[in-house]
Amino acid sequence: MVALTLTLAGCTASATDRTAVDDPTSAAPSSEPVPTVAPTPTATPTPTTARTALYMAGDANDGVRDLQARLKQLQWYAPEITGEFDSVTVEAVTGFQDKRDLPATGEVDQATWDRLVAMTVQPTDDEMHNRLVAGATIIGPESSGDRVRELQARLKQIGWFDADVTGTYGPVTSTAVAGFQTKRAIPSTGDVDQRTWDRLTAMTRMPTDDEMHNRAPGNDGTTALLDPGCTTGRVLCIDKSTRSLRWVVGGSVKMTLDVRFGSELTPTREGAFSVGWKSRDHVSKLYDTPMPYAMFFSGGQAVHYSPDFAANGYNGSSHGCVNVRNEAAIASLFDQVRIGDKVIVYWS
């Protein structure tokens, strides 16, 4: 029995085992669990999205002043310029984007900014800080002749001048200019400075010689300016060259209206058509915009009143329709035109 015990005591063990057995200072194993310390969790970094907007809600800087001033030039922004991208600015940007078929996000990305810059001029420091300062007079009471005739004819196109075109810069002309300036937040002096002239020419077309000399088209007994298709019957005669619509009955011009057309991307079709249907209070299903007094002549293209044309003139375009800016005139025309009347769109 003794020999067996000694043999068992001499079994081979690892160094660790021997230490645990032979070291009298080794602590006795405990039956209680040894507490463990949990590792401190490492915070997961929040992913950040790269900013793609040039200007967005919450921004406040001179760039936003520039933005607001340019939107103001196009009458998308009415309040004083603050340099703060607030809710009014978001609404203005959204409206501008929606009108130009850009993603209506309310944030200014590069595409929105490029389009806005192309349609506006660099604002002055006075404009960006709400200071109205008149520029030097380029047409005023000392002026006369064809330059004043052009001014009066252009003012007449947009309803600011009702008298005969005379070429004399009198009180009636001064009052018309002052009213135009006040409406556009330009210093109301009654004299034409460069800012006033630029705004007026952007909203109007070059007057014809007839307009500058108070002659109605066709009063000379000829119809030379009319397309041959406009000389008989009842016709909406639309001339792209003069940007005019003439309502012609039996070869006689009854009404002349300023019009604008589609852009290169959405051109107004040319040719001979007829009025297929009419809609007094039409709203475009494609663009969700009003088209009052719409007279459709080619698919979705129609002659109709445009508030944007009335406000911004030729500083813009339609989606292919023929825009009219004189609401009272087109309301009258709408009542006169019948289904089946001819529509001729041409270059003279």
How much is the pTM?
0.48
Rounded Cα distance, 339 and 257, in Å = 20
User: Does domain 137-210 correspond to CATH entry 1.10.101.10?
Assistant: yes
Query: Residue 146: exposed, middle, or buried by beta-carbon count in 10 A (0-12, 13-18, 19+)?
Result: exposed
In CATH, the number for domain 219-346 is: 2.40.440.10
Q: Which of 72, 56, 179, 178 is nearest to 130 (CA)?
A: 72
In CATH, the number for domain 62-128 is: 1.10.101
pLDDT at 23: 42
pLDDT at 16: 36
Q: Rounded to a whole number, what is the distance in angstroms from the first to the last CA of the chain?
A: 132
- Give residue-wise pLDDT tens across range 194-241: 999 998 988 888 888 888 988 766 544 444 478 889 989 999 999 998
Q: Phi and psi dihedrals of 306, rounded to 5?
A: -130, 110
Q: Which of 63, 62, 312 is nearest to 203 (CA)?
A: 312
Q: Would 137-210 and 219-346 be classified into the same CATH topology?
A: no
pLDDT at 219: 45
List the pLDDT tens digit at each of the 348 positions of the chain: 444 433 333 333 333 333 333 343 444 444 555 555 556 665 565 555 566 899 999 999 999 999 999 999 988 998 999 999 999 999 999 999 999 999 999 999 999 999 999 999 999 998 899 888 889 999 999 999 999 999 999 999 888 999 999 999 999 999 999 999 999 889 999 999 999 999 898 888 888 888 898 876 654 444 447 888 998 999 999 999 888 999 999 988 889 999 999 988 889 999 999 999 999 999 988 888 899 999 999 999 999 999 989 888 888 889 999 999 999 899 999 999 999 999 999 987
- Give residue-wise pLDDT tens across range 261-308: 998 888 999 999 999 999 999 998 888 889 999 999 999 999 999 998
pLDDT at 24: 39
DSSP H helical ranges for the chain:
2-9, 15-22, 62-73, 87-99, 110-119, 125-128, 146-157, 171-183, 194-203, 209-212, 307-312, 327-336
pLDDT at 286: 82
Domain ranges of the chain: 62-128, 137-210, 219-346
pLDDT at 75: 87
pLDDT at 117: 95
Rounded Cα distance, 148 and 285, in Å = 44
Rounded Cα distance, 15 and 109, in Å = 72
Q: Which of 88, 313, 91 is nearest to 184 (CA)?
A: 313
pLDDT at 293: 97
